[in-house]
Amino acid sequence: MKRGLKNIIAVTFGELVGPLLGFFVLVYLARTLGVGNFGMINFAQAIFSYGLLLNYLGLPTLGTREIARNQDPAKITSSILSLRLFLSLLGFILILIISLVLPKNNETKTLVIIYGFSLFTIGLFLDWFYQGKEAMEYLAFSRIISYSIYFIFILTFVRNKNDFYFVPIGFFFSNLSIVLFQLIVYQKRFGKFRFAFNWKDGKGLLKVALPLGVASLFIQFGQYFTPSLLGFIKGNIAVGYFSAAAKLITMIAIVDRVFTIVALPMITRYHAANNPDLLTTLLNRLHKWLIAVVLPIITGGIILAKEIIILVFGRNYLPSVPVFQILIFFFGITIFVSLYGVSLIASGKESRYARSIGTGTLTNVILNPFLTAFFSAIGSAIAIVLAEAVTLTFAISNCRLPDSLKQCYDVPQALKLVLKPILATCLMAVFLLLLPNINIFLKILGSIIIYSGFIFLIKGLAVSDFELKQ
């Protein structure tokens, strides 16, 4: 498993160092801009996301899978980048239209438009190419460079609550740095890049990518539907409280992002090798790893929620505490959605994956307005968690359809893996509850030591679980 371990280390490094800088920027913005302007920035980002819906359309995921299958890389790269640039233009036009009809002040409209220019940089990202090549070190370096530029830019130009326009400008330049770095590496390692778009090939790619595109639309719509709806119904203050909790969950979800980035090309490669026994072993061990990781994070997050919110955002954000305690369950559910989703995509079952995501998104759209109207940000969090649970249910159901690999998705078998992690998690929780007055960093460190030590002691995880043939 040398390649997989190397990629896990590279992606984890990038996802820790880069987003850690982004997290410091987030805290700085929350404290410098104030709740109202911080909420306005997040609202503008939510509207900007609708342009991103057209920018993706499943093409990056399709590109990763096809590159992992050793398809023609030059042709695929040229076609996908050309398509995404065209889609970026359509997305920018959509954002302009939305900004014109948006019932918000001029500052919010201007922020949305400035964010829109980043579509043209994001459309040139080559993350999917390096992911398919399993050259994860380039993903890590590009993220660190991008976040470093964003970090320096924000700390230099955002000095008071009225400097919010610099936030989307810094976002643009950070994305531009990713494009420049990735294109330079591509030219040096894989040959000269040329835009040579063929409309016939483009239509073929879009047709194949359509289910992935639909799923991508659902995911991104669901992600940004909640803060935008919350802003319309309850205002920027409620968005600020929700966004503070959601940003913390985003940081924790680094685990999910690392898993997804590494797992898609790996599982695709195992499918392409046509070795069901080895693939079954891989998927069963992935279940075991994820269960062992998710349970302590959820439990620790619930117990330490208040201390974390105060430490990061200050006491002004105390209403974010129950929102965070609810959203932590979203993390626990979505990482398993990723496992089943990646398995479906790798095996060519994109339509089943899209149906699962679509059902969850529809659930969110139905539940969110009612729960938000009655319970504000807490209701929004409940709706998201329930919708993700529906998504997972349908993803598992789709994976358990007649299939030579259906034992990989046997839920009763997966439940047997929960017992030992639960015992280790309970021991960790006792430690946290019996010593409420010690420093939060000591609590986190102690929790990691206690849980990790006990889970290996009782053989909830073993060294052999990390050994897989390539």
In the chain, where are the structural domains located?
1-197, 214-470
For residue 237, is pLDDT > 70? yes
pLDDT grade for 341, boundaries at 50, 70 and 90: confident
Which range in 131-135, 156-160, 210-214 is most confidently predicted, on average pLDDT? 156-160
Does the reported pTM lie above 0.85?
A: no
Question: Mean of the pLDDT values across residues 215-221?
Answer: 76
Q: Which residues contact 371 (CB under 8 A, 6 or more apart)?
A: 379, 380, 382, 383
Measured at the CA of 231, the angle between CA 50 and CA 364, to 5 degrees, comes to 65
The two tokens of residue 360 are: 């969850």
Q: What is the pLDDT of residue 405?
A: 45
For residue 404, is pLDDT > 50? no
Measured at the CA of 415, the angle between CA 409 and CA 420, to 5 degrees, comes to 130
| Chain centroid to CA 417 | 25
Q: What is the pLDDT of residue 389?
A: 94
Place of tokens 């499943």: 58
Please say whether the beta carbons of 79 and 201 come within 8 A.
yes
Characterise 275 by phi-psi region: left (phi > 0), alpha (psi -120 to 50), beta (else). beta
- Residue 356: name the closest of 306, 414, 399, 395 by CA: 395
Report the mean per-residue pLDDT for the chain: 83
Give the separation between CA 364 and CA 373, rounded to whole angstroms.
14
Please say whether the beta carbons of 350 and 339 come within 8 A.
no
Per residue in 61-100, pLDDT tens?
A: 888 888 877 666 777 888 888 888 888 999 999 999 988 8
Please say whether the beta carbons of 119 and 91 come within 8 A.
yes
For residue 387, is pLDDT > 80? yes
The two tokens of residue 76 are: 């695929």
**Exposed e or buried b per residue across 314-345, where buried means at least 16 C-beta atoms within 10 angstroms of its C-beta:** eebbebbbbbbbbbbbbbbbbbbbbbbbbbbb
Per residue in 10-51, pLDDT tens?
A: 777 777 787 788 888 888 888 888 888 888 888 888 888 888
Per residue in 146-190, pLDDT tens?
A: 999 999 999 999 888 888 899 999 999 999 999 999 988 888 887
Q: Which long-range contacts (CB under 8 A, 24 or more apart) does 3-8 make?
A: 3/134, 3/470, 4/262, 4/266, 4/468, 4/470, 5/466, 6/136, 7/134, 7/136, 7/261, 7/262, 7/266, 8/258, 8/262
% of the chain exceeding 90 in pLDDT:
27
Give the separation between CA 396 and CA 393, rounded to whole angstroms.
5
For residue 413, is pLDDT > 70? no
Q: What is the pLDDT of residue 69?
A: 74
Place of tokens 């965070």: 324
User: How many CB atoms are closer than 10 A to CB 445?
Assistant: 11
DSSP code, position 125: -
Question: Mean of the pLDDT values across residues 300-317?
Answer: 90
Residue type, 98: I
For residue 264, is pLDDT > 60? yes
